[in-house]
Structure 1
Amino acid sequence: MQAFDMNLPGKRSFFLFALIVLLSGCAAPYPRVSPDFQKEWQHQQYTAQAYLLPSASIAFAERLNLIQQATQTIDITYFSWNGDTLGLMLLNALKEAADRGVIVRIALDDLLVFNEKWLADIDSHENIDIRLFNPFSSRKMGWMGRSIEFSINQQQLDNRLHEKYFNVDQQFLILGGRNIGDEYFGYSQTANFFDLDVLFKGPLITAFANNYQRLWESGLLTPISTLIDVESDGQFKYFKQRYQKTQEKNVAIVEDLATTLATLPVAQYTEVQVIPVFDSLNKLQDSQPYFRSRAEHIIAKELSDAQHAIISTPYIVPTDGEFVVLSQLTSNGADVRLATNSSASNDSLFVPAYYETHRETLLDMGINIVEYKDQAKNSDNFYHADTYYHNKTIVLDSEVSYIGSSNFDPRSDFINIEFGLFVYSEPFALQIQDYLFNDKDELYWRVLRNKSGQVEWHSGDEIHHQNPNYGGWHSLPDWFFRKMNAESEL
């Protein structure tokens, strides 16, 4: 379930979360949306400098670098923050910045936060404030407790904070699809995500800072100190014990990141024009697609005129049974390439069950599909393990690009709080295309029909007539998940 970008070892969590949907009586119907909804919303264009962070390890090391240089403030939002090697390393860097007097604010979604004393311990620092969005009451009963609570309070607990935001001194801003954890930067020995981040400078940061402040003052964030009890002695014993343990256990990761940080390349910025798009917190009351509608109004002309389009999303899920934007593009004669997970590479147990029924529909629409391999060997991964696709971007005619948190699916549209921005620059758009595809044919299956109309998966000389690494044993759980009719929750 994209919904929740579950952390690995998370397929256990996915199955348990199936209980949530099952117990809650499955998905709610799609809300009715006026054709003119948000049509009058006013957007603003900004100048900016954009640097596509070229690898996963550099994306993490750049965060460390910016924290080390910080002098005043650091504001952060993420959907998830793991207590693993990289998660604790980043938190330690933030603590050291706070020791220097830097004010650190962290907003996290609560879905994956249980009784993490290491996290609540850091909050006791006088210069660090950690708050949780839409918190659960259950903290010590694991996923079973969350499932029961969700089944009782689905309407209240369904909305999640899905933004990814990293602002240092109001001077540097990192946006993209990554959360914080080993698997988002190629350092998990179990499975890693292929994703991207962009470092921005310029006046656009003010718009994002204002959006963050609205969230911070909204009353929707609860101090972690009121939810998780820790014995605060000023020594941060819970955090230090866990941090030291992971550092000692993962020396190879620590050394590699130290080398990456020491040899960090100088950022090569591209001058761009950008239009930020923010969700409305009113979504929690009316479930209206603020972000999606605002975004579509902004690029309505580009969508109508596009001759070539790249749509990149981890989860391809229709809204109310229709792929509206894809249909618009193909109806206008655009050549559309869709990059997404293969059924085997998907980190959700739910989405492939539905995608298996949509793949042929997309092919019939004329969509050129490439699916990420479940064992793709991405060159910037420190460990090569199972792989998952997590990039969220759009490129239209190599001129307009999207960077942000939305997955362009029903959950992003109607339930999660999202944001992003459109980048107007041909050089930058070409950088995105290069990052996704150049010299990376071995990462993807090209999905097409043969002369007999049967679906095939191609990679070089390799051809599969059956879905690669997605065996018949998936049939029963896929049937079960489809019976749950949970597509609007995905």
Structure 2
Amino acid sequence: MPIFKSKLAFITLTLLALAGCAAPQPEVSEQFQNDWEFKTVKGKVALVESAPEAIARRIELVRNAESSIDIEYFSWNKDTTGLLFLNELVLAADRGVKVRIILDDLLVFNEKWLASAATHENLDIQIFNPFNSRKAGWLTRAFDFQKHQKDLDHRLHEKYMNIDGETLVLGGRNIGDDYFSYKPKNNFFDLDILVQGEVTEDFERNFEEHWIAHYTSDIEFLIEFKDKKPLQSFHRTFEKVTKSKQDALADIESRVRGLQEPNYIAAKLTPVFDSAEKLHDSMPYFRHRIEHFVYRYPSAKKELVISTPYMLPNEDGFKVVTDFANHGADITLVTNSMASNDSGFVPAYYENHRDELLDKGVSIYEYDTHAIHLKNVHTRKGHYHNKAFILDGKLSYIGSSNFDPRSDFLNLEFGIMIESEEFAQRLQHYLLGDKSLYWNVERNEDGKLEWRRGNQLKNKDPNYGGASKVFDKLYRAINIENEL
């Protein structure tokens, strides 16, 4: 099985870097970030309704840009949509629009196509926290990580696009076919919003802080290449990759032309950012700021919907879940099933904590890896990637962070709080309007777990074979939960 072989190779490399190297979580006082002050402003938000619409909206915004485009992403694939989107940015730069991009370095190697695009006088690319190893692939990078783990463990996980300082695109999507449903299989069910209003200024300040910081480096100093003609390496790569993808390009173009005006909803908006100090002290600035806002928020605290790809406890366990459960709240968790999880490691640890969540009275909906999204281009096998929560049907959160130790202690994250009952209803419908996408996990009369989906009933993790269980035991044995 090719999947098995690639997974085994990945395990081998990862073990070299991570075995025995998971950093302990720091001690965090209950008063940490108690003095954090937030700012709430009026604005408006629109939910992007599907994966294909998400790439169409981005292209439309870029084509309408007049002066500036700022972008941050964790990953940017060298595939049809990744190259198409970068080509649209090059065309915008040709018109005189100033384009700035910050990319995390974890998945950037010797990407000459990226560096070539950055030679445009109006397009600059900065790499966040670059590795020392670049040309020899994962093997040398794994050793590089092992040697410099304290520094390289911190990654930029923010996802952000700002057009002319007027419209933001925020959410969980990165740039690539699997985020826009143009990959034949293994696409993500994910989430984006469009945001307008005064809040854009706060996100601009956050971007600017990263742009001028010592922890970002110009891509031209990291990747060596020679172009005989301007942007030659990029154009060659674009033409080579997209040559056989004309149907996909035509489909995307038709969707761009068919876009309607976004359905904006007025709301009160509160941005929440991480602190760059996390790169030095690994403290959970972002999570504690979110928690302080939620605890102070004037509502009954009777209903909480949590949506996250990965659900793992931090240094104080599932504190928010425990507090809400003790308060008598109805708590719903929407997350990946063991089979749908795109991480090879998370299922091994999530399985250990699922019983604890059920004991707290949490209703768990696990995404079916074969769920069908009728609005998508391809629906064969998928992963859940929505990062959000909804409190009492009126306060929503959307951002880049997962409910796991990595988002808490290692990655730089951000998000936005949205106060609007209308938007909360729309978001809840987007996440849970179609229950056929999920397996509802419950205990039967004998106390054993069972999974229900429509008329189907399973007494084992659906679509999760014995070989995966064997690997799960290995992953738990090497104890890397704090890295996830």
1:18 corresponds to which residue? 14
After TM superposition, list the pairs within 5 Å mapping 1:224-373 onto structure 2: 224-302=219-297, 305-320=300-315, 322-373=317-368
Q: Which amino acid aligns with 2:405?
A: P
2:458 corresponds to which residue? 464
Call closer, same or farther: CA 1:278–1:10 in 2, change over 3 Å. farther
Q: 2:94 aligns with which of 92, 99, 107?
A: 99
1:444 corresponds to which residue? 438
Q: CA deviation at 1:304?
A: 7.9
Preserved CA contact (<8 Å) 1:11 1:347:
no
Task: Determine whether 1:213 maps to 2:208.
Answer: yes
Preserved CA contact (<8 Å) 2:184 2:378:
yes
Q: Which amino acid aligns with 1:177?
A: G
- Measured in 1, the distance between the counterparts of 2:42 and 2:299 equals 25
Q: CA deviation at 1:131?
A: 0.7
Task: Determine whether 1:473 maps to 2:467.
Answer: yes
1:5 corresponds to which residue? none
- Measured in 1, the distance between the counterparts of 2:370 and 2:150 equals 37
In the alignment, structure 2 segments of 5+ residues that lack a partner are none
- Measured in 2, the distance between the counterparts of 1:432 and 1:449 equals 28
Other structure's SS at 1:299 match: helix
Other structure's SS at 2:125 match: strand
- Measured in 2, the distance between the counterparts of 1:37 and 1:273 equals 26
What CA deviation, in whole Å up to 9, does each residue of 1:84-138 have, x standing for no partner?
0000000000000000000000000000000011000000001111010010111
Q: 1:135 aligns with which of 130, 137, 140?
A: 130
- Measured in 1, the distance between the counterparts of 2:405 and 2:200 equals 28
Preserved CA contact (<8 Å) 2:284 2:408:
yes
- Measured in 1, the distance between the counterparts of 2:315 and 2:208 equals 34
- Measured in 2, the distance between the counterparts of 1:370 and 1:21 equals 33
What CA deviation, in whole Å up to 9, does each residue of 1:68-97 have, x standing for no partner?
011100000000000100000000000000
Call closer, same or farther: CA 1:356–1:335 in 2, change over 3 Å. same
Call closer, same or farther: CA 1:297–1:370 in 2, change over 3 Å. same
Q: Runs (4+) of structure 1 moved beyond 4 Å?
A: 9-14
1:3 corresponds to which residue? none
Other structure's SS at 1:60 match: helix
Task: Determine whether 1:55 maps to 2:84.
Answer: no
Call closer, same or farther: CA 1:116–1:27 in 2, change over 3 Å. same
Q: CA deviation at 1:165?
A: 0.5
Call closer, same or farther: CA 1:10–1:474 in 2, change over 3 Å. closer
Call closer, same or farther: CA 1:152–1:368 in 2, change over 3 Å. same
Task: Determine whether 1:428 maps to 2:452.
Answer: no
In the alignment, structure 1 segments of 5+ residues that lack a partner are 1-8
Preserved CA contact (<8 Å) 2:17 2:143:
no
Other structure's SS at 1:131 match: strand
- Measured in 2, the distance between the counterparts of 1:151 and 1:365 equals 38
2:483 corresponds to which residue? 489
Call closer, same or farther: CA 1:11–1:339 in 2, change over 3 Å. farther
Q: CA deviation at 1:19?
A: 2.2
1:391 corresponds to which residue? 386
- Measured in 1, the distance between the counterparts of 2:60 and 2:391 equals 33
- Measured in 2, the distance between the counterparts of 1:455 and 1:326 equals 20
Other structure's SS at 1:137 match: coil
Q: CA deviation at 1:380?
A: 2.3
Q: Which amino acid aligns with 2:415?
A: G
1:37 corresponds to which residue? 32
Other structure's SS at 2:243 match: helix
2:408 corresponds to which residue? 413
- Measured in 1, the distance between the counterparts of 2:71 and 2:38 equals 23
Task: Determine whether 1:454 maps to 2:448.
Answer: yes
- Measured in 2, the distance between the counterparts of 1:244 and 1:33 equals 51
Preserved CA contact (<8 Å) 1:21 1:27:
no
Preserved CA contact (<8 Å) 1:377 1:443:
yes
TM norm structure 2: 0.97
2:116 corresponds to which residue? 121
Q: 2:69 aligns with which of 70, 74, 78?
A: 74
Preserved CA contact (<8 Å) 1:400 1:429:
yes
Q: CA deviation at 1:26?
A: 2.7
Other structure's SS at 1:67 match: helix
Task: Determine whether 1:171 maps to 2:153.
Answer: no
- Measured in 2, the distance between the counterparts of 1:346 and 1:150 equals 24
Call closer, same or farther: CA 1:17–1:312 in 2, change over 3 Å. farther
- Measured in 2, the distance between the counterparts of 1:159 and 1:234 equals 37
Preserved CA contact (<8 Å) 1:400 1:425:
yes
Preserved CA contact (<8 Å) 2:313 2:403:
no
- Measured in 2, the distance between the counterparts of 1:474 and 1:68 equals 45
- Measured in 2, the distance between the counterparts of 1:456 and 1:79 equals 36
- Measured in 2, the distance between the counterparts of 1:423 and 1:207 equals 15
Call closer, same or farther: CA 1:30–1:454 in 2, change over 3 Å. same
Q: How many residues align?
A: 480
- Measured in 2, the distance between the counterparts of 1:303 and 1:372 equals 32
Call closer, same or farther: CA 1:68–1:12 in 2, change over 3 Å. farther
Other structure's SS at 1:225 match: helix
Q: Which amino acid aligns with 2:140?
A: G
- Measured in 2, the distance between the counterparts of 1:14 and 1:275 equals 39
- Measured in 1, the distance between the counterparts of 2:287 and 2:6 equals 28
- Measured in 2, the distance between the counterparts of 1:386 and 1:341 equals 12
